[in-house]
Chains A and B, each alone.
Chain A
Amino acid sequence: MTAEPDELAARVLRHGPVMVVCSEATGVVRERVPFWVELYPTYESRSVVSLEGKRSTIEEIELSDLLAVLDRAERLAQRS
């Protein structure tokens, strides 16, 4: 599903997604979503990835990186 930035927090609270890809990770995303990617938050090449609370910065993130995060999120969803 997709959401406008201003409805992101409400959507997270309503649907409880395992993974969020967004332009700005809100407090709700950071606290409640196990896997999230903040994609190009400053319109530059840097993105932030959080894997179950472990954050890292990726320069020049690629689609394959997002798919790898998605694979991990799917595995978590299957376990729970």
Chain B
Amino acid sequence: MPGSPTAAIIKHVDGACILVASELTCYRQALAGAFRELRPNSEVFEAESEFLDQAVERLGPDLVVCDAVSIRVQTETPCWVELYADHEDRSLVSVRGERSIIEQIQLADLLSLIDRSEGEASYPVQNRAL
């Protein structure tokens, strides 16, 4: 409609919807930037930790990478990573409810999870709260 103030941008995204949530801004931005650069088909969002649940509700991400996983993330997100839990080398990973611990997680591990999460969106979430 001519003169309409409303505009819509429709973007086709082939890859995963990824949410990066960390209270440490620089880490969050660096991780999100790396994901955008190395997995350009994915859609990458950032959120501060305190707004994690709201972002999950709004975006319905396929993968969440965060400092501290919440109940909502555990129950509503197919894949998630809790990076450096308790500031140690250990990170907790969940892929469709199957959990594992990775010591000294690397960027390559996260990219692998992005690749896996692209195929997970159509599956129901089977995660349980800790």
**Interface residues, chain A, CB within 8 Å of chain B?**
39-40, 43, 45, 47, 60-63, 65-66
- Are B24 and A40 neighbours in the complex by a CB distance under 8 Å? yes
Distance A73 CA – B96 CA, assembled complex (angstroms): 44
Q: How far is the CB of B50 from chain A (nearest CB, A)?
A: 13
- Are A61 and B25 neighbours in the complex by a CB distance under 8 Å? yes
Q: What's the interface size class on B, roughly?
A: under 10
Considering the complex, give the chain A residue whose CB is closest to the CB of B107.
A2
Secondary structure of the B side of the interface? helix
**Interface residues, chain B, CB within 8 Å of chain A?**
23-27, 29-30, 33, 87
- Are A43 and B87 neighbours in the complex by a CB distance under 8 Å? yes
Q: How far is the CB of B84 from chain A (nearest CB, A)?
A: 9
Considering the complex, give the chain B residue whose CB is closest to the CB of A59.
B25
Neighbouring A residues of B29 by C-beta, 8 Å: 62-63
9 further interface pairs, Cβ-Cβ under 8 Å (given A45-B25, A47-B26, A66-B26): A39-B26, A40-B24, A40-B27, A60-B25, A62-B25, A62-B26, A63-B26, A63-B29, A63-B30
Neighbouring B residues of A45 by C-beta, 8 Å: 23-25
Neighbouring B residues of A63 by C-beta, 8 Å: 25-26, 29-30, 33
Distance A63 CA – B20 CA, assembled complex (angstroms): 14
